[in-house]
Copies of this chain bind each other. A is one copy, B any other.
Amino acid sequence: MEQTYIEDVARHEGEEVTLRGWLYNKRSSGKLHFLQVRDGTGTIQCVVFKKEVDPEVFERASHLTQESSIEVRGTVRADERSPLGFELGVTAIELVGESTDYPISPKDHGVAFLLDNRHLWVRSSRQHAIMRIRSEVSHACRRYFDERGFVLFDSPILTPNACEGTTTLFETPYFDETAYLTQSGQLYLEAGALAFGKAYCFGPTFRAEKSKTRRHLMEFWMIEPEVAYMDLEADMDMAEDFVEYVVQRVVANRSAELAILERDVARLQKVKKPFPRIAYDEAIEMLHDKGFEIEWGADFGAEEETAISDAFDRPVLVHRYPAACKAFYMKNDPEDARLALCVDMLAPEGYGEIIGGGQREDDWQTLRDKIRHHGLPEEPFAWYLDLRRYGSVPHAGFGMGIERVVAWICGLHHVRETIPFPRMLDRLRP
């Protein structure tokens, strides 16, 4: 018999259909069972009336355990009380696979236990909501650049050189060489931007940071656009337009999931252009006013970022940091050589940096000197220098890690729930 998905039951009102799924929850009395059945596309209440079904069907329903897989046949009926708008009047039930002592019960469990059982935890309604929002964020990111003529230009994961410094790299033997797992697709993407004008990549990136904070994962997905003939100002315009687009698409398409997560949607609806823009110098002043003893020249930590973003009801763009605390490929500000033409976007509500980007150094000589100054080997960057040797142009871009964005949109305390199988300092399993 053909399977009907729960997301499609509205099209079958009054018809008898076959659902295939799992028992999510059950309430029973002597006369009837209310089975909450999920099939991944939705959850529906299935009502088993003792007087309407064969005795063995009623008996079978009474023994069903949480997460048993079942095939349920019945008639789709409108039901105003249901969030779905429909329930199923059951006529038959078949047990497909038993489930004995399912480890995740409705009671509270510790996070370590839930992460150990991540392969099962992803079946719960909160995790469903988060994963569907992650899926929506990924789609929105791609759609934004696809609709604007960007070419997808997948950067390699295995690289012979480090991008953001050499201390936080995962490495693997690569036949007779050593390869490093990419920390960012940017350097390769610059070749794509100079070939295609507008290019983006979107893939997993890796940082072997010995940090155990609520904002860090060892493996996370990053979307990175790069545009030829773009300067810092246009880059900031693109970043705010992009973030507004992504957030508002989730608000528009995933309201049911945001409701499950009890997210204050009004805060997300405020994420509209223009976003405030402040220079690093202004940010330092703000921090001094708030009592921070940070010196000019230092990068911001989580506490400073939160203090800055707390002053605003939408993301804030902080631009022109001291060049010394940023990566070698940043272009110096022609107005003040101590500064880099870079930008970080800090999310509101303490979610920290979600975007880092800026204009790239496009002068061959200056870039070569920076590579030397940063103590990096020159040979692995020879191809990167070539991009400044043959028709160099001003260009800019940014990277956005999607897990922090998902955590922010969902209102989660920790990024560990934003990815199917999080990789952390103490967690490589399951």
Contact = CB atoms under 8 A, between A and B. Distances in A.
A155 interface: yes
Interface string A387-430: 11111111000000000000000000000000111010110111
Contact of A390 (B102, B146, B195, B392): B102
A156 B40 contact: no
Contacts of A135: 151-153
Contacts of A123: 194-195
A296 interface: no
Given A20-B228, A97-B392, A192-B122, A221 B41 contact: no
A158 interface: yes
Nearest to A159: B428
Interface stretch (A79-87, A175-183, A367-375): A175-183
A138 interface: yes
B191 A122 contact: yes
Contacts of A392: 69, 96-97
A22 B391 contact: yes
Given A421-B156, A428-B177, A197 B21 contact: yes
Interface in A81-127: 96-100, 102, 117-120, 122-123, 127
Contacts of A420: 153-156, 188, 191-192
Contacts of A391: 22-23, 67-69, 96-99, 102
B423 A219 contact: no
Interface in A183-203: 188, 191-199, 203
B170 A151 contact: no
Interface string A133-173: 01100110010001001011111111110000000001111
Given A170-B172, A203-B204, A195 B158 contact: no
Contacts of A221: 154
A362 interface: yes
Given A99-B390, A391-B67, A392-B97, A151 B174 contact: no
B153 A131 contact: yes
A400 to B, nearest CB: 15
Contacts of A100: 389
Nearest to A137: B152
A77 interface: no
Given A99-B391, A203-B204, A392-B97, A195 B156 contact: no
A154 B389 contact: no
B386 A179 contact: no
Contacts of A312: none
A196 B393 CA distance: 46
Contacts of A390: 67, 99, 102, 120
Given A120-B386, A156-B219, A158-B219, 5 more contacts: A20-B229, A20-B393, A118-B191, A119-B191, A153-B420
28 contacts: A40-B196, A41-B197, A69-B393, A96-B391, A97-B391, A97-B393, A98-B391, A99-B389, A102-B391, A119-B387, A120-B390, A123-B194, A127-B195, A128-B195, A131-B153, A132-B151, A135-B151, A139-B146, A155-B421, A157-B157, A157-B204, A170-B173, A172-B172, A172-B181, A174-B218, A191-B420, A203-B203, A384-B430
